[in-house]
Amino acid sequence: MESEQPKRTPSGRSRRRGLIYLILAVVGLAVVVGVGFAAQSGTAGTDPAASDASGQGSDEPLIDMARRIEGDPTALGATDAPVVIVEYSDYRCPFCAVFARDTMPLLVDEYVTNGQVRFEWRDLTVFGQQSIDAAVAGRAAGNQGLFWEYTDAIFKDAPERAHIDLPRERLLQIGRDVGVPDMARFESDLSDPALLKLVTDDTAEAQSIGATGTPLFLVNDTPITGAQPLAAFRQAIDRELEEAAK
């Protein structure tokens, strides 16, 4: 099931460059202070206020990466929510799993269910072929309305400091465990080139804005790196909600 991709204009390309510089600055700051970016070593992060300061000096807004596609199985929340969190994630990333277990449920309860925030998933496959295969499996589960259940099942048992092993048989077993109704279709979809293209397109999008590690979040246009606690997201979300209310 192919998702509509946002169109890029010449002015959009210039704004994207601004976002690239901001993301690179945020990642660079994380490395300088010694916490590292998740794909490299650990739970890297940044104060959203510092991200905001890095983006000063231009009246032109950064490009909006939100898609807001009605019925998108990889998204949660209202399409017209004033704040969209885009997460670039890898199923084999231990810090993505920490976020999924510890922080995302709180964000959903506090902001998504009341229509203030929409959450959109993007695949950024950085840990080899199993990452790609798992991302396709997530999309295959999404074809049967179980994307988030499948994603949660992978992250629920993921180790905190290692990359989860996800061979094909385990991907199939997770499908059975979460109740995928048509397992024959699910197994066939694991080899669907259209689903693979969605995954590779997401990864290419992430790379085009300077993302090299996971997890990376864009709270509207504020980057947050790593498995940050709820307070870091609250700060960025509440600031965006205040701006939207003006």
**Widest CA span in the chain:** 54
User: What residue segments make up the domains of the chain, in order of their start?
Assistant: 10-245
Question: What whole-number distance in Å separates Cα of residue 144 and Cα of residue 147?
Answer: 8
List the single range of 40-44, 158-162, 230-234 with lowest mean pLDDT. 40-44
Class of domain 10-245 (CATH, top level): alpha beta
Q: Are 201 and 122 in contact (CB under 8 A)?
A: no
Other Cβ atoms closer than 10 A to 68: 17
Segment 87-122, tens digit of pLDDT: 999 999 999 999 999 999 999 999 999 999 999 999
CA atoms of 125 and 202, how far apart (whole Å): 9
Q: How confident is the model at residue 64 (pLDDT cuts 50, 70, 90)?
A: confident
Closest CA to 67 of 151, 10, 2: 2
74: which residues sit within 8 A by CB, 6+ positions away? 3, 120, 121, 138, 139, 142, 147
Provide the token pair at 139.
């999309």
Q: Mean pLDDT score of the chain, rounded to an integer?
A: 82
Can you tell me which residue has the tokens 């669907």? 192
Give the contacts of 96 (CB within 8 A, at least 6 positions apart).
Answer: 38, 89, 90, 155, 214, 215, 227
Q: 129 pLDDT exceeds 60?
A: yes
Q: How much is the pLDDT for 4?
A: 42
8 Å CB contact between 180 and 147: no
Nearest to 167 by CA among 190, 198, 194: 190
Would you state the structure tokens that stand for residue 9, as one six-digit string?
């204009």
pLDDT at 202: 97
Could you tell me if 125 and 203 are in contact, meaning their C-beta atoms sit under 8 angstroms apart?
yes
- Torsion angle of the four alpha carbons 46, 51, 54, 60, in this order, in degrees rounded to the nearest 10: 160
